Structure 1
Amino acid sequence: MNETHLELLVNLSRKEFQTAEDPSHPEYVPAAVFIQHGLSSPYLIHQMLAMSALHLSTTFTDPQKINFYHSYATGLQNHALSLFNKANPVLEVTASNCIHMFLFSSAVGVHLLSDTLHYQRDSLDSFIERFTHDINVYRGVLAVVDQFVGTNRKGL
């Protein structure tokens, strides 16, 4: 952990990061849940730090800070994906990993979609290409959710 990671961790608990959270909408998972489970899952906490960096990249007007945090977000997400692949060489949802896998796959999907909507504005073609990629990632999220629901029905 370094100073930037600490800054990103603090950002996760700030009201500005959590503005999308609305208790009247039960489909939103509070950042506190991600943090709680992320502390025992290296790939999940790296993904949460990546989301925090992406968020910070949208809050600055200085191009250097925007580029720094956007690049940092990409690097953290790549590292999170690498850690996820090492931790789950066979994509199988079990009672011990289902919550981490669900939260991780959801966070990756939200991160990619947020990045696309904020940064992919060069052309309609590049936006559609990237958005299509994001939809395919969401299909992976749905596969994890389907396995989670199936496991849950079997008495998780």
Structure 2
Amino acid sequence: SPAVSMLHLELYYHFTTTVFDSLAQRHEGSATSLETIIQASLSTPYLMHELLALAALHLSLVRPSQGTYYHTQATQLQCQAIALFRAREEDLNAATSLPTFLFSAILGTHVLCETLRFCTEGPSLATFLARFVQYTALHRGVRAVAGRTWDTLRQSAIAASWRVAESTPGVALGAVQQALLARIQAAKLGAVITDHYRLAIQCLPFSGDSSEPVASLTPQASCSRIIAWPVHVPQEYLAYLGQGRPEALVILAHYAVLLHQHRGFWVFGDAGAGLVVAIAEHLGTEWEGWLAWPQASILES
């Protein structure tokens, strides 16, 4: 094989000239300089592989005529990145906190994009739900390992990024969340299940009393918190989602509105609207009242 891979150089160039800027406009990485990311990746093979993987994924979307080729490359590079990361799990320490944080954030973005952009068109809702639950398990698993070293990030140059990534919305619920929670409480599902749903609803990054998703946040913070939602919800909620419980699907439909509000971000695309429609078709007319707001929201914007 050649000593220099022209493909990898192409992907590296694409990340530094295009992908990073797209993330900086919409994601927590905006508070992390390109130079910081590049320096970290040059000494951390698993991070470098994931940067290249994300660049390949982006190219698969913006160059549809070569989509299959770049998507295959993205998958292979991501698998290599995860294998390299797992091989270094025992070596993670305070000195590796920066690359592990970046790896977790970028991998999470990659796998969410993969799930949303490639599993909401064509496959059944059940297939999407299975992939979504798998995505959250992978992202949570990597974060659990990487997070052991993150205390040092509070005083680091990327402290702002770290705070956004780790923060969750406050306990005060907006009007839409309150209405959704009231329906779930009225359904009398039992205290334990209701509390799991309450926590999942509370994690939805709506702003204050507004019915507008994350209206008061910057685009970077908005998208970062949308990406973080599946990581912060209770594990039990994800189990209910995997089982296809209607109330869990309704909450997911509200999350899909957040995706739709930020559909200009290539990671989300048009997945939000498609997900609301798929959930509504699956649940049928019996759940129309529960889905009135999500359905109206995707029609209005």
Query: 1:102 matched to which residue of 2?
Result: 101
Whether 1:41 and 2:41 are equivalent positions in the alignment is no
> Take 1:145 and 1:35, find their aligned partners in 2: how far apart are those partners?
19
> Take 2:11 and 2:128, find their aligned partners in 1: how far apart are those partners?
27
In structure 1, what residue type is equivalent to 2:105? S
- Which consecutive segments of 4 or more residues in structure 1 shift more than 6 A? none
Query: 2:80 matched to which residue of 1?
Result: 79
Structure 1 residues 55 and 31: CA distance shift in structure 2, 3 A:
farther
> Take 1:114 and 1:97, find their aligned partners in 2: how far apart are those partners?
26
Shift of 1:100: 1.5
| TM-score normalised by L of structure 1 | 0.81
Aligned partners of 2:59 and 2:70 also within 8 Å = yes
Shift of 1:57: 0.3
Q: Which ranges in structure 2 are unaligned for 5 or more consecutive residues? A: 155-301
Q: What CA RMSD, in Å, does the superposition of the two structures yield over aligned residues?
A: 2.4
Query: 2:141 matched to which residue of 1?
Result: 140
Whether 1:3 and 2:10 are equivalent positions in the alignment is no
Shift of 1:139: 2.0
> Take 1:48 and 1:138, find their aligned partners in 2: how far apart are those partners?
16
Shift of 1:95: 1.4
> Take 1:100 and 1:139, find their aligned partners in 2: how far apart are those partners?
17
Shift of 1:141: 4.5
Q: How does 1:6-155 map to 2 (within 5 A)?
A: 6-15=9-18, 17-22=20-25, 27-29=28-30, 30=32, 32=34, 33-62=36-65, 65-88=66-89, 90=90, 93-121=92-120, 122-144=123-145, 146-150=147-151
> Take 1:139 and 1:86, find their aligned partners in 2: how far apart are those partners?
18
Residue 14 of structure 1: SS of its match in structure 2?
helix
The structure with more helix, counted as a fraction of residues: 2
> Take 1:72 and 1:31, find their aligned partners in 2: how far apart are those partners?
26
> Take 1:13 and 1:21, find their aligned partners in 2: how far apart are those partners?
11
Q: Which ranges in structure 1 are unaligned for 5 or more consecutive residues? A: none
In structure 2, what residue type is equivalent to 1:67? T
> Take 1:137 and 1:108, find their aligned partners in 2: how far apart are those partners?
9
Can you list the C-alpha shifts for 1:29-59, whole angstroms capped at 9, x where unaligned? Answer: 4471322210111111011000000000000
Shift of 1:16: 5.5
Structure 1 residues 26 and 107: CA distance shift in structure 2, 3 A:
closer
**Quick check: which has more Rg, 1 or 2?**
2
Aligned partners of 1:13 and 1:31 also within 8 Å = no
In structure 1, what residue type is equivalent to 2:39? Q
Aligned partners of 1:106 and 1:141 also within 8 Å = no
Structure 1 residues 138 and 86: CA distance shift in structure 2, 3 A:
closer
> Take 2:19 and 2:107, find their aligned partners in 1: how far apart are those partners?
20
Aligned residue pairs: how many? 147
Aligned partners of 1:34 and 1:48 also within 8 Å = no
Between the two proteins, what is the percent identity of the paired residues?
Answer: 35
